[in-house]
């Protein structure tokens, strides 16, 4: 009989536990929701800034190259020389120059995005050097007609691009691979310039 009068005593935490657990679960869910939104907003902001910096990094060298071609790209001397069949027409040379500007600036942006220019300042110097040499080739060769100077510039351009390819590959393998077609362009420019010298 005594056992029937016994009552089960509970701790105060156990008595109101259901409500507390529900409140804790809803608070945790709200926190996860807000932190997930914050993370998504942060990623979206970073992506927007990344696209903006990519657009600037690529459009600036391409704009300079277009201006270079517009001002110095129409060369009657190049049109009038006897060229072998494998020599590109002038418009193809211009397109290759634009492709070079795009690929080299894209590879430089990839290195910059990985903080490569802070770790290796020589990489930035090599990139700016090859950009300056490629922009200077048109005014020197087609504008001033200094083909021997252009030949030296082509050799320096090829060396700067080899350096870019090696340093970029250490920091970002994709960036190093993007410079390889630019090496072909620099070699083509050297062959074209050599033909102009000996014509």
Query: Distance between CA 4 and CA 186 in Å, rounded?
Result: 99
Query: Distance between CA 89 and CA 79 in Å, rounded?
Result: 8
Helix (H/G/I), strand (E/B), else coil: 178: helix
Query: Distance between CA 138 and CA 153 in Å, rounded?
Result: 11
What does the pLDDT read at residue 46? 47
Residue 83 pLDDT grade (very low, low, confident, very high; cuts 50, 70, 90): confident
CATH of the domain spanning 52-198, picked from 2.30.38, 1.20.1260, 1.10.3470, 2.40.30: 1.20.1260
The rounded percent of the chain whose pLDDT value lies above 70 is 74
- How confident is the model over 118-154, as pLDDT tens digits? 888 888 999 999 999 999 999 998 888 888 999 999 9
pTM of the model: 0.71
Query: Distance between CA 179 and CA 171 in Å, rounded?
Result: 13
CB 46 within 8 A of CB 94: no
Query: Distance between CA 34 and CA 116 in Å, rounded?
Result: 34
CB 179 within 8 A of CB 168: yes
Domain residue ranges of the chain, discontinuous segments joined by +: 52-198
Query: Distance between CA 38 and CA 106 in Å, rounded?
Result: 30
């Amino acid at each position: 009989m005594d056992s029937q009068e016994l009552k089960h005593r509970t701790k105060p935490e156990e008595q109101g536990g259901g409500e507390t657990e529900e409140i804790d679960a809803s608070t945790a869910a709200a926190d996860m929701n807000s932190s997930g939104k914050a993370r998504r907003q942060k990623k979206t902001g970073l992506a927007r800034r990344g696209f903006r910096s990519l657009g600037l990094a690529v459009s600036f060298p391409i704009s300079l190259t277009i201006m270079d071609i517009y001002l110095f790209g129409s060369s009657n001397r190049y049109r009038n020389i006897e060229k072998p069949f494998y020599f590109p027409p002038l418009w193809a040379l211009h397109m290759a120059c634009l492709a070079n500007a795009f690929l080299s600036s894209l590879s430089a942006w990839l290195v910059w995005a990985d903080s490569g220019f802070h770790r290796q300042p020589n990489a930035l110097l090599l990139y700016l050097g090859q950009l300056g040499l490629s922009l200077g080739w048109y005014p020197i060769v087609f504008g001033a007609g200094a083909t021997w100077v252009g030949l030296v510039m082509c050799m320096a351009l090829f060396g700067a691009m080899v350096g870019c390819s090696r340093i970029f590959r250490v920091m970002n393998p994709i960036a190093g691979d993007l410079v390889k077609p630019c090496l072909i362009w620099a070699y083509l420019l050297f062959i074209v310039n050599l033909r102009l010298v000996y014509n």
